[in-house]
Amino acid sequence: MKKGFFLIVILVSCFALFSGCIKTAPVVTTINPNMSAHIGSYNFIAYKTVPSSITAQHSDTGTTLVITGYTSDQVSPRDRIVLTVHKYNGITNTYSMVRGEAFATYYHGNAVSYSLGGIVSIQNVTTTNISGYFSFTTQDGLSVSDGVFNVGLP
């Protein structure tokens, strides 16, 4: 009788212990971070796209969003496009480079091309990623068009 009672207590204790430890798998949202654009006749395709943000110390300047796409081209492995959006507030919007709301830089080898005009348009913001498009012209006459990006939140 004591062994049967003891066995029942052990089984009930084990059931109570392990039923409280049921783990659910975390929900993992996988995004495909990417960036691509046409630079003249060259097709820029990033193999790595990295978002980051910089929060200003002054309340009136807000957060700066920086999206960098590093090329997958084996001939020019140091090429990259850097998009900068000033006063980013986490919602969809189109930012003008002419008005100083955004800025872009194209690095090709040792040359650096800065944007003169163009836009960065953030089309979709979710709890996991930011996506949109961009185009710009540089001070040395390059035309960067049909640019798209999709990155995780910084």
Q: Let me know if residue 60 belongs to a domain.
A: yes
Residue 24 reports pLDDT greater than 70: no
Q: Let me know if residue 9 belongs to a domain.
A: no
Tens of pLDDT, residues 92-146: 999 999 999 999 999 998 899 999 999 999 999 999 999 999 999 999 999 999 9
* CB < 8 Å & 24+ apart, contacts of 56-65: 61/86, 61/87, 62/86, 62/87, 62/88, 62/89, 63/87, 63/88, 63/89, 63/90, 64/88, 65/130, 65/154
Q: Let me know if residue 91 belongs to a domain.
A: yes
Q: Let me know if residue 25 belongs to a domain.
A: no
Q: Which residues contact 149 (CB under 8 A, 6 or more apart)?
A: 34, 35, 49, 67, 69, 83, 130, 131, 132, 133, 134
**Which domain range does residue 122 map to?**
33-152
Residue 65 reports pLDDT greater than 90: yes
pLDDT of residue 21: 45
Q: How does residue 40 score in pLDDT terms, banded at 50, 70 and 90?
A: confident
Average pLDDT, the chain: 82
